[in-house]
Amino acid sequence: MLAARQAVHGGDAETAGVLGAGLSLLVWVAFLVVAQRRIAALGRRARPDPLAARAALAAALCTVALAGFGVAVVW
């Protein structure tokens, strides 16, 4: 969002900022997919299965990547 706003208002968006914003969007969508799968699993049964290690790792990596790309956009 910040890179898009900067490009519209300032007209001087750096490549790193635009790349960071694009990658942030992709990682955000991946995080939403992981979250949606977990929500669907929680809604299927009264007692859901434990969160798989792979899903937990994916959610954690998405969170760290979003922080890193956010820094790239702001920097």
- What tens digit of pLDDT does each residue of 2-46 get? 655 655 566 555 676 677 778 888 888 999 999 999 899 888 888
Distance CA 74, CA 58 (A): 24
Burial class (CB in 10 A: 0-12, 13-18, 19+), 66: middle
Q: Where are the domains of the chain?
A: 2-74
Report pLDDT for 53. 93
Q: What's this model's pTM, rounded to 2 decimal places? A: 0.68
Per the listing, tokens 């669907």 go with: 40
Predicted confidence (pLDDT) per residue in 37-74, tens digit: 989 988 888 887 888 899 899 999 989 988 888 777 77
SS3 75: coil
**Could you tell me if residue 51 is left (phi over 0), alpha (psi between -120 and 50 degrees) or otherwise beta?**
beta
